[in-house]
Amino acid sequence: MPAIHHALVLNLHQPPGNLEHLLVEKPWEAREILYAYDRIPRFLWPYEDVARVHVSLSGSLLETLSNTEFQQNVYGVVDCGSLLWHFQNRTIIDILGTAYYHPILPLIPESDWPKQLSRWLGIAQHLFWRQDFSGFWPPEMGFCMDMIPLLKRQGYRFVMVDSEHVEPVTPMAEHERLYRPHVARHGGEEIIVIVRDRELSNAQSSGMDYLWFVKEVAQRTRSCDHPPLVTTCSDGENGAWFRNTNNDANFWGGFYRDLLEAARADGSIRPTFIHDYLEKYGTHGEVTVKTGAWNTEWHDGQDFTQWTGSPSQKASLHRLRVVSTAVQEAIREAGHREVGGQEQSVLEEAQWRVLRAETSCNFYWGEEWVNRANQDLDDAEATLRRFRSKKYLIDADPGWLSTL
């Protein structure tokens, strides 16, 4: 039987201002989250010969971790500057690109997609001292085929998708669908899709031991006559399994250490970077991917019910589209007039408010969080009124720029 290649993917995200809020209101929870981040490179250092982990960090999280005031406030808990430096270790960590404010891209206006992606690239290229990010992590694994041309223009080679939404175009067996990379085509462009095993990922997020994992993976890939790529993806800082500060009882000491030790001893499961697997084994066939997200709690992600099920969620998403359209129209108008200076700054403020309103958490965590989206949309509309009235030329306060 061929060696089994395992791609481990961890999503790290905090909505804007959340860590700062927790630091005041729930300081131990904030510490647990920060420890979970700091634990990743520290745990992997002794295993540079075999450890391979993919990590996605949202732009809003990177914004917080790189903020000098926040760094000062948590110094002595975690050295955030050093943490960001440690994530640059490309021997053990591969950073996946994503969208800045962690929006579910199929739910927000397509005209906002380029800004969400380019804004993330801007901060990530600066903090990680690199230009290239070969893989893309769609926030909440929210994917639709319309995203493919933009992802290609942004320079991505592959994108992560959930197994429940992948449908073969090329005839293939189930084990080939799940455990080989494929190509998806749309709008004259193509991209490689990497298939997340949903059931194994559920176990990764809630707790599992190495012996169970070995047996389960062997059973699932028993029919493979090719080197299988088993991909597991979950959040990397949520739940006791990842936040537990006792390394013997968390994901790293309770599971991943045994996997790494076995890999050193030439075990059947080999941690791998996806880009290395692609270089060696390439892709298999063509698939199409249904629009959807990953599963959360009892939701399967097929219709985005987690984020669109209530009247307030629907109303806020509708309003988001209306305000975004108004901002885009103002930007086009300004482009025709070749505005600059204060006018350009005001439009950038309005757009920034819309992008932040699109944060997926705003549409997941109940009424209070929906109101966060509405507050940003209120501010965007107020900023647009300033733009239309030209009042900002007299008394505009540029203080908002310090929040970018």
Amino acid at 31: R
Domain extent listing, the chain: 4-289, 309-403
Summarize pLDDT for 72-83 with one digit per residue, the tens.
999 999 999 999
Averaged pLDDT for residues 104-122:
97
pLDDT at 395 > cutoff 80: no
Helix (H, G, I), strand (E, B) or coil at 166: strand
Summarize pLDDT for 357-378 with one digit per residue, the tens.
999 999 999 888 999 999 999 9
**Which of the 8 DSSP states describes residue 3?**
P
Asked if 229 and 179 touch (Cβ cutoff 8 Å), the reply is yes
CB atoms within 10 A of CB 187: 12
Q: How confident is the model at residue 1 (pLDDT cuts 50, 70, 90)?
A: low
Q: How many CA atoms lie within 13 A of 357 on its CB side?
A: 30
> 48 burial class (0-12, 13-18, 19+ CB within 10 angstroms)?
exposed
Q: What percent of the chain has pLDDT over 90?
A: 86
DSSP string, 47-101: GTTT--EEEEE-HHHHHHHT-HHHHHHHTTT--HHHHHHHTT-TTTEEEEB--TT
User: How far is residue 364's CA from residue 59's CA, in Å, rounded to a whole number?
Assistant: 19
pLDDT at 195 > cutoff 60: yes
Q: What is the pLDDT of residue 391?
A: 54
Asked if 70 and 20 touch (Cβ cutoff 8 Å), the reply is yes
Using alpha carbons only, what angle is made at residue 200 by residues 291 and 271, rounded to the nearest 5 degrees? 105
Q: Does residue 348 or residue 33 have the better pLDDT? A: 33
Q: Is the dihedral of CA 357, 358, 363, 364 positive or negative?
A: negative
Q: What is the pLDDT of residue 60?
A: 98
pLDDT at 402 > cutoff 50: no
Using alpha carbons only, what angle is made at residue 195 by residues 190 and 200, rounded to the nearest 5 degrees? 170
What CATH architecture applies to the domain 4-289?
Alpha-Beta Barrel (3.20)
Show the tokens assigned to 319.
């309003």
> 68 burial class (0-12, 13-18, 19+ CB within 10 angstroms)?
exposed
Averaged pLDDT for residues 188-207:
96
Summarize pLDDT for 90-99 with one digit per residue, the tens.
999 999 999 9
User: How far is residue 180's CA from residue 325's CA, in Å, rounded to a whole number?
Assistant: 40
User: How far is residue 24's CA from residue 36's CA, in Å, rounded to a whole number?
Assistant: 19
> 37 burial class (0-12, 13-18, 19+ CB within 10 angstroms)?
buried
pLDDT at 235 > cutoff 80: yes
Q: What is the pLDDT of residue 210?
A: 96
For the ranges 207-216, 263-272, 386-395, the lowest mean pLDDT is seen at: 386-395
Averaged pLDDT for residues 377-389:
91
**Which of the 8 DSSP states describes residue 366?**
-
pLDDT at 390 > cutoff 80: no
Summarize pLDDT for 117-171 with one digit per residue, the tens.
999 999 999 999 999 999 999 999 999 999 999 999 999 999 999 999 999 999 9
Give the relative orientation of helices 27-44 and 18-25 as an angle to the nearest 10 degrees: 120
User: How far is residue 4's CA from residue 230's CA, in Å, rounded to a whole number?
Assistant: 7
Average pLDDT, the chain: 93
Q: What is the pLDDT of residue 338?
A: 62
User: How far is residue 49's CA from residue 27's CA, in Å, rounded to a whole number?
Assistant: 36
